[in-house]
Amino acid sequence: LATIGSKVLKQRGLLPELDESEEINACSIKIPVEIDGQEEEWVVMFKNETHNHPTEIEPFGGAATCIGGCIRDPLSGRSYVYQAMRVTGGADPRADFKDTIEGKLPQRKIATISSEGYSSYGNQIGLATGHVAELYHPGYAAKHLECGAVVGAAPFSNIRRERPQAGDVIILLGGRTGRDGIGGATGSSKSHNLTSITTMASEVQKGNAPEERKLQRLFRNPEVTKLIKRCNDFGAGGVAVAIGELADGLIVDLDKVRKKYEGLDGTEIAISESQERMAVVVDKNDVDEFIEQANNENLEAYPVAVVTEEPRLVMNWEGETICDISREFLNSNGAEKHTNVIIEDNSFEETNSFNPTLKEIASTLKSASRRGLVERFDGSIGAGSVFMPFGGINQRTPEQVMVALLPVGTERQTDQATVMSFGFDPDWTSQWSNNEVSLYDKAYNSVVNSIAKLVASGARYQDIYLSFQEFFEKMTEQAQTWGKPLASLLGGLDAQIDFNSAAIGGKDSMSGSFLDLNVPPTLISFALAPVNSNLIISSALKEEDHPVYAFGLGKTPEEIKKSWEYYNKLVRDRQVLAARAVEVGGIAEAIIQMSFGNTIGFKQKTDSEVPWYSTQPSVIIAELKSPISSNEAVYLGETVKDTIIINDETEKIQDLLELNEDVLEAVYPTRVQEEILEVPDINFTIKTNEKKKGASIVKPKMIIPVFPGTNCEYDSARIAVSAGIEPEILVINNQSEQNLQESAQRLKKAIDQSQIIFIPGGFSGGDEPEGSGKFIASFFRNPEISESISNLLENRDGLILGICNGFQALLKLGLLPNGLISNVTDKSPTLTYNTIGRHQSKIVNTKVSSNLSPWFNSINVNDIFQVPISHGEGRFVAPDSVIQDLIKNGQVATQYVDLNGNSTMDSQFNPNGSYYAIEGITSPDGRVLGKMGHSERIGKNLYKNIPGQFDMKLFESAKNYFS
């Protein structure tokens, strides 16, 4: 059933981008991509994944390995994963602890800790998670829904696909093998019972994001990927499956598999699902080169198996053959299984037909702001996010899609992006109006809504591909239980055919039962399309006095598609300013959400006959530049300032926003409950002719060291190149003492040949206990490296920059605020945990407080810039006497400011609670700069849904310093 739609549409010639091969770990399409004026063929891969059962019993680890496992699938296809979403489902997280079901964790515990797990892994690996949705339904008390989706891409010319031949070698690379995860993925759909949380936690894999980051780096190198004939990631079944699927004939030497610890027997080694590992097939003559390349990325890699002529899977351990199975038997998939299916008439009529007030809509759990949840996830890493998760000057309108530029490298530019979203709501029957909806209808609606969201953002429905995620109650021998997924799949199938969008992948989980509780029948439709980032449309209403229209109100698929086509023409003609697809809250709820971002409201057309609480999933609400006359759209009204007027009801946007954000404030806080203290604005100016200059160098060199956990090196190199600086990325290898010594020598040599050191952001050592940056600092204190740094600063007029994690390292080295490597005392400035108690990712406003630093040579004191931040411990603290000295010396470089440009302690604008709203400081001469905001994450068509000036010209100033 999952493949019928794609087969039919392919036969009709409607899937021109479909990429088919024997490697089926992820959905795959081929698209033409224009890069610097030249067209290339690229592969785009996407995948969705669930870890419902592991997350239910161990929320942090289960959710972390959900995103980790999801990344590995397109990664094994040799694509670079650059875009992610998360969709979760739970019962009401505000429920009282005493109402927790026996044998279960509290709903709030599952919701909050799983969000920490997923965001921790994604943030560490450096994956932009631009859309996060959490669905609430009482049925998810049976089992939590934990679902992720990712997108990867690579030039097709980088990918080699060949059938393995006898004599080829299988290399295992990445993390080591342990007992954690034995039965994990194979048990991800296990039934939950009263003892699960105490007996099954050991099955949850232990994630290691920095290790998988190394795999990402390795597989981004075409010299490496062109050595790989075939690749498999490690999921369910461990070595037995990951290696066992690579070729028909194999001999696996389990004694060669490196372990986390001793004591594992052959079976445990064979089936362990420990994460962050890959198995690759290479020619026997390429083994040494591949291992050397892996070592250059600080990865373990070693041969563990060979391909044979005889079609048998053989595994040896301690001199014995413990597995010897014919490929014919493995390919049989075991005995055939059959079941009877009955689709019951499960449609029902919703009898509640009241029309809610705008305040009632804004304050429902369904419509409530998820901002306190979403801001835990890094939305800007990779410098490719076309949207941040919330748009408008207030950053309060939630986007419905994740849009990201393709990762074309550090020296190239493209406007090509991919847009991804999903369609599903457990309550497709509207709580506002009469509806008759079956499981067939719900699934159909999910598909249509997923397509409508992408169309609203600027994509063509003809370019959209789907992947399904199913989550149903435990299937029994009763034919009626099987009827639920069947009815849903039939609805999804008809929607695919009606809208020419094929589901080319999917994942199921049929274990959503606990005693007599069942999850709501869940079929999520993930949708992806290639788009031009110049044409992308955000959700927040932009200005007053613009007409607002509804598109897609047709009664038939053909009418809806015709309306969408007309809308897309308006997009291409640059007539659309804002748009949003209607969901279960109806048109009124869509208008409310669109109003929050810029405090722009809406006034209903007086004689409008449009049902304002309609939940038709194909409808797109759009703000246009000028009125149109067309049968393909219905005029709804026009934009106004500050208020929403619908059905003779008038409400201030700010009042609705406060209601909307209060709903989940106790679960996912968005503000710090403390007195807002006044903060002095700091201004320090020196004359231009007092500025120091570096030696005259046409193209200065910048060394960018990559430590275990660093994840901003590509962003940093890209912005350096664009400014005319030559970057060198140098990976620090800590596999052994010898590797560390060799890395130290390489770094010393690189520093001696460079004019700039840039320590980029990340999670060094996975953010070591008691604060991050210590491993970097201890490495830089190597006597030879310290000497090179001193020589750079004292004799060669060099510059040093540290952002986020790099800022932390500079403080621990004493380079800030002292200007030289020195001892740190209890009075030294430091960075500690954000006062809000969680990771913060958003765009903040910063003001230049001093022009002392050469890094600010191209801008002026009091200039205000918008800058992405993403950190959990960025609160700058120091004794007041130390801060006063910094202010007096002009070393306070930047401050956090509000929308009026005033420095503030308000957590909405000062995201970490830094003393004196300090965002960055410099050394006494200004040549060493440290700051929390990621000023390297800039570029064309980024953060298009938030107005502002993002380029502080740091790197341009550094280049000019040496001119």
Task: Catalogue the active-site residues.
Answer: 804, 934, 936
Residues 441-466: b if buried by 16+ CB within 10 A, e if exposed: bbbbbbbbbbbbbbbbbbbbbebbbb
Do residues 218 and 278 lie in contact, with contact meaning Cβ atoms separated by under 8 Å?
no
Task: Give dist(CA 657, CA 368) in Å, integer.
Answer: 9
Tokens 């605020």 sit at which residue? 817
Return the closest-CA partner of residue 217 out of 702, 709, 703, 701: 709
Cα angle 352, 356, 361; round to 5: 115
Kindly state the helix (H) or strand (E) to which residue 486 belongs, with its residue range: helix 479-499
Amino acid at 351: T
Can you tell me the distance from the alpha carbon of 766 to that of 757, in angstroms, rounded to the nearest whole number?
22
Closest CA to 948 of 901, 895, 894, 893: 901
Whole-number Å distance between alpha carbons of 116 and 58 = 12
| Residue 802 in tokens | 């540290």
DSSP 8-state symbol, 248: S
Q: Which residue has the tokens 């301690």?
A: 318
Show the tokens assigned to 690: 């007092």
Torsion of CA 939, 940, 941, 944, to 10 degrees: 60
Sort strands 513-514 and 517-518 into parallel, antiparallel or unpaired. Answer: antiparallel
**Closest by alpha carbon to 355, among 436, 435, 432, 434?**
432
Cis peptide bond prior to 817, omega within 30° of 0: yes
**Are 491 and 34 a contacting pair, CB within 8 Å?**
no
Residue 868: beta bridge partners?
A: 843
The residue to which tokens 């590509």 are assigned: 714
**Measured distance CA(944)–CA(622) in Å, rounded:** 17
Closest by CA to 71, choosing from 255, 219, 256, is 219
Q: What is the DSSP-derived secondary structure letter of residue 900?
A: T
Rounded-to-integer distance, Cα 393 and Cα 949, Å: 12
Written as one string, the DSSP assignment of 657-726 is HHHHHHTTTTTS--S--S---B-PPP-B---GGG-------SS-EEEEEE-TTB--HHHHHHHHHHTT-E
Pairing mode, if any, of strands 503-509 and 465-471? parallel
Nearest Cα to 922, choosing from 866, 869, 852? 852
Q: Collapsing DSSP states into helix, strand and coil, what is residue 770? A: coil
Q: How far apart are the two ends of the chain, measured CA to CA in Å?
A: 65
Query: How far is the C-alpha of 305 from the C-alpha of 485, rounded, in Å?
Result: 40
CB 666 within 8 A of CB 112: no
CA 129 – CA 870 distance, rounded (Å): 12
**3-state class of 200 per DSSP?**
coil
Structure tokens at 661: 């954000």
SS3 label, residue 398 = strand
The torsion angles phi and psi of 843, rounded to 5 degrees, stand at: -105, 130
Q: Nearest-CA neighbor of 843 among 367, 133, 130, 112?
A: 130
Beta-strand (E) ranges in 220-332? 230-233, 250-253, 277-282, 301-307, 312-317, 320-326
